[in-house]
């Protein structure tokens, strides 16, 4: 019968911890990016944020909101990337997309039916 190790050395524990904290690559290769203290799920989303800031400064839009949460049903929510408030009083729900997952497609349909709004994918 094999003997199990009951006591670890400090080095053994550090090796174990390092194995547990190794981060995997993101599933869809999106790279989280920090801009102005905000963490974006991808470089594309961060770049769109920078574009919105410029558009607002130029007076092309009234403003925008980052990562608004919409309750679709109990225990089901959709987090858009942005809401853009246009000068004409209209709003746009924006989602920066690299890959359209099955989960996203379902949430998009539920969102658009429930709120009678369209999601613009960029």
Q: Is the dihedral of CA 95, 101, 107, 109 positive or negative?
A: positive
Residue 84 domain-assigned (yes or no) = yes
Counting the structural domains of the chain, the total is: 1
Residue 5 domain-assigned (yes or no) = no
Residue 4 domain-assigned (yes or no) = no
Please list the ranges in the chain whose pLDDT falls under 70: 1-6, 17, 19-29
| HSE (side-chain half, CA atoms, 13 Å) at 55 | 15
What's the domain range around 49? 26-121
Residue 20 domain-assigned (yes or no) = no
Q: Is the dihedral of CA 56, 80, 68, 114 positive or negative?
A: positive
Nearest C-alpha neighbor of 95 from the set 73, 71, 112: 112
Residue 83 domain-assigned (yes or no) = yes
Nearest C-alpha neighbor of 92 from the set 56, 53, 58, 121: 121
Residue 113 domain-assigned (yes or no) = yes
- pTM equals 0.74
pLDDT of residue 29: 67
Residue 80 domain-assigned (yes or no) = yes
16-46 pLDDT, tens digit each: 767 655 555 555 667 889 999 999 999 999 9
Which CATH number belongs to the domain containing residue 32 in this structure?
Answer: 3.40.1350.10
Residue 67 domain-assigned (yes or no) = yes
């Amino acid at each position: 019968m094999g003997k199990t190790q009951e006591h670890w050395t400090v080095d053994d524990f550090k090796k174990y911890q390092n194995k547990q904290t190794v981060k995997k690559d993101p599933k869809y290769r999106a790279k989280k990016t920090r801009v102005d203290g905000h963490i974006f799920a991808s470089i594309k989303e961060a770049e769109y944020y920078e574009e919105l800031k410029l558009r607002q400064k130029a007076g092309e839009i009234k403003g925008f909101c980052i990562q608004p949460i919409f309750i679709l049903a109990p225990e089901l929510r959709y987090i858009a990337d942005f809401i853009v408030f246009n000068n004409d009083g209209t709003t746009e729900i924006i989602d920066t997309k690299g890959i359209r997952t099955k989960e996203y497609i379902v949430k998009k349909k539920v969102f658009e039916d429930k709120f009678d709004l369209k999601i613009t994918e960029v």
